[in-house]
Homo-oligomer: A and B are copies of this chain.
Amino acid sequence: MRISEDAQRRVHTAAAELGYRPNQTARSLRTHVTRTIGLISDTIATTQFAGEVIHGALDTALEHGYLLLVAETSGDPGIEKKLVDEMLDRQVDAVIYALMYTKPGQPPDALSSLPVVLLNGTEDCFDGPRVLPDEYSAGRAAARALVDAGHAEAIYSLGGRHLTSEAPNGVFAGRQRMAGVDEVLAEVGTAIAGSYECAWEPEHGYAGTLSLLDDGHRPKALVCLNDRLALGAYQALRDRGLRVPVDVSVVSFDDSDLASWLRPALTSVALPHYELGKTAVSTLLDGNRQRRLVTVPMPLRSRDSIQPPRVP
């Protein structure tokens, strides 16, 4: 100790008073760490998804002194390349490569030099951590909610696995959710009475519900594969004079704003956007770059759209 404690303290107070902060740029040049994480997404706009993901990611990043460079490719490989280059130029420490919804897709090779976590990507050839919502358990939770209320018969699915001409195998979330639903129903000795396969948009929910009804089906419960489908279902049921939940119980997925806006308020299994963002960052920061799957629970949000089936 060549300088006195007093002197040291005086320097520190002076620094604090002057508001001295080390220059991060200079520090980065020397150390090659920028304390900045890139968040590259295919689409941040269309859905409410992104906002919460960013929020969760940012909160966790900030706790560790990191900031987020956020960008969106719009699915355009040209933009993606430019974005990746710009981020590399700025020497981001790591990247979250996020997809708007759970589907195949993986980060470009240019990113292979740094830590990357794949958010929402089902591509299992990606050689690093992937974080995904636990869609299978979500399906189980939805079915459980119905079963626990006493439902067993005439349970229909609206949306199903999202089987359409463009996606003949459906979508990942659909397959997983339906697998969970089917399993729980099987466990209590029953099964889905019918499934209307379609794209997960309100108009198909409306059309699907009408088509079910007009084909003579009499659903006592509807598993809507997302809230937008449930919106369509509500409209159709009302048009046919059926009441939710008195005549038909409804359970759904996503827990978007819609779920709480609808009347009766919709019971829905939440897509945990915020947690997904948090988990992506903490997975990135835990130092383990090994290939693995990190799964985030999807909690059931119980509201007013489920009640025990009426005995005829």
Residues on B with C-beta less than 8 A from A45 are 51-52, 54-55, 274
Q: How many copies does the complex hold?
A: 2
Report how far A47 CA is from B48 CA in the complex, Å.
7
Option from B67, B83, B261, B263 in Cβ contact (under 8 Å) with A90: B67
A84 to B261, CA, bound (A): 35
Q: Pick the contact of A51 from B51, B91, B261 — CB < 8 Å?
A: B51
A264 to B235, CA, bound (A): 11
A51 to B55, CA, bound (A): 11
**Contact A72–B89 (Cβ < 8 Å):** no
Nearest CB in chain B: distance from A32 CB, A = 8
The verdict on A231 contacting chain B, using a C-beta distance below 8 Å, is yes
- Could you tell me if A67 and B55 are in contact, using CB atoms closer than 8 angstroms? no
Across the interface, A71 reaches (CB within 8 A) one of B26, B68, B91, namely: B68
List B contacts of A28 (CB < 8 A).
Answer: 25
Chain A interface category by residue count: 35 or more
From B65, B68, B228, B274, contact of A70 by CB (8 A): B68
| B residues near A48, Cβ cutoff 8 Å | 47-48, 51
Return the CB mask of A170-211 against B: 1 if under 8 Å, else 0: 000000000000000000000000000000001000100000
Cα separation A5 to B6 with both chains bound (whole Å) = 63
* A154 at interface by CB-CB < 8 Å: no
Q: Does A106 contact B (CB under 8 A)?
A: no
Cα distance, A68 to B39, chains bound together (Å): 10
- Provide a sorted-by-A list of 16 A–B residue pairs whose CB atoms are within 8 angstroms: A21-B85, A22-B89, A23-B29, A23-B91, A24-B89, A24-B91, A25-B34, A25-B90, A26-B29, A48-B51, A54-B54, A54-B72, A55-B72, A62-B79, A69-B70, A258-B258
Closest A-B pairs by Cβ, 10 of them:
A70-B70, A45-B55, A24-B89, A45-B51, A202-B261, A50-B51, A25-B28, A45-B52, A25-B29, A24-B90
- 9 further contact pairs, Cβ within 8 A, besides A23-B91, A25-B90, A67-B71: A23-B89, A44-B51, A47-B48, A47-B51, A48-B51, A50-B54, A70-B70, A231-B261, A238-B238
